[in-house]
């Protein structure tokens, strides 16, 4: 789900960096010490989970837990996703440094949408968790496919996005289950975001 360097125009990448760095600076201000632990744990969890790839439809897919990050961290999820993607680019060449901003906008945007869904109190908690998990994964996949298509790289990436619909369903179910569990054992975690 990462955009590698050299696929989309450099101007898009520069714009992505501007948006990602500005959003990270804005949403990462005044972090309280008690938030740092949750942010670090979510970053580590997402980092490790995203390294486990599953073959599907001639390619491989992986979980990202961006929806869960939105639920547990609220708007702090964006700086966490940006940092996570920076480390993935540096350590494992997932994506690239030039495309890092655009990747952060895609995936961090999914996490922010998930955070917004989590605030919709009219929907039952498990339902909000499912929607947040689904959107947190599927929206970035659609954004990446649209960017590849607009860059003239091909429409085949919509097929990969469709594969991520299955991943998004799994992430939705996983997020709903985690929300239900956390509500029972440590409800304060869900209201801290």
> Is residue 3 a part of any domain in this protein?
no
pLDDT value of residue 6: 86
pTM: 0.93
> Is residue 2 a part of any domain in this protein?
no
Residue with tokens 């964006």: 78
Band of residue 38 on the pLDDT scale cut at 50, 70, 90: very high
Residue 129: CB partners within 8 Å, gap ≥ 6? 71, 118, 172, 175, 176, 177, 178, 179, 180
Mean pLDDT (whole number) for 23-27: 96
Is the pLDDT at 193 greater than 80, yes or no?
A: no
> Is residue 4 a part of any domain in this protein?
no
Mean pLDDT (whole number) for 123-147: 95
Is the pLDDT at 45 greater than 80, yes or no?
A: yes
Q: Alpha helices of 74-124 — where are they, by DSSP H?
A: 77-92, 100-118
Q: How many domains does the chain have?
A: 1
Can you spell out the DSSP letters for 53-86?
A: -EEETTEEE----HHHHHHHHGGGHHHHHHHHHH
Residue 44: CB partners within 8 Å, gap ≥ 6? none
> Is residue 147 a part of any domain in this protein?
yes
Band of residue 160 on the pLDDT scale cut at 50, 70, 90: confident
Residue burial 82-115, b: 16+ Cβ < 10 Å; e: rest? bbbbbebbeeeebbbebbbbbbbbbbbbbbbbbb
> Is residue 64 a part of any domain in this protein?
yes
pLDDT value of residue 170: 95
Residue with tokens 């680019």: 89
Q: What is the pLDDT of residues 73-123, one digit of tens each?
A: 999 999 999 999 999 999 988 888 999 999 999 999 999 999 999 999 999
Name the residue range of residue 128's domain: 10-191
In angstroms, how far is CA 57 from the centroid of its own chain?
Answer: 22
> Is residue 1 a part of any domain in this protein?
no
> Is residue 5 a part of any domain in this protein?
no
Is the pLDDT at 49 greater than 80, yes or no?
A: yes
Mean pLDDT (whole number) for 61-70: 93
């Amino acid at each position: 789900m990462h955009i590698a360097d050299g696929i989309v125009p450099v101007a898009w990448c520069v714009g992505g960096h501007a948006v990602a760095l500005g959003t990270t600076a804005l949403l990462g201000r005044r972090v309280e010490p008690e938030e740092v632990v949750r942010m670090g744990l979510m970053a580590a969890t997402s980092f490790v989970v995203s390294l486990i790839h599953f073959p599907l439809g001639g390619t491989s897919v992986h979980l990202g837990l961006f929806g869960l990050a939105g639920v547990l961290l609220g708007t702090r999820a964006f700086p966490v996703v940006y940092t996570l993607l920076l480390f993935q680019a540096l350590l494992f060449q997932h994506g690239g440094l030039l495309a890092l901003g655009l990747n952060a906008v895609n995936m961090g945007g999914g996490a922010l949408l998930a955070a917004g869904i989590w605030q919709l109190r009219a929907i039952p908690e498990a339902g909000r968790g499912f929607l947040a998990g689904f959107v947190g994964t599927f929206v970035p996949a659609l954004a990446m496919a649209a960017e590849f298509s607009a860059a003239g790289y091909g429409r085949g990436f919509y097929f990969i996005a469709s594969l991520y619909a299955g991943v998004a369903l799994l992430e939705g179910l996983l997020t709903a289950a985690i929300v239900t569990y956390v509500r029972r054992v440590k409800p304060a975690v869900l209201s801290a975001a």
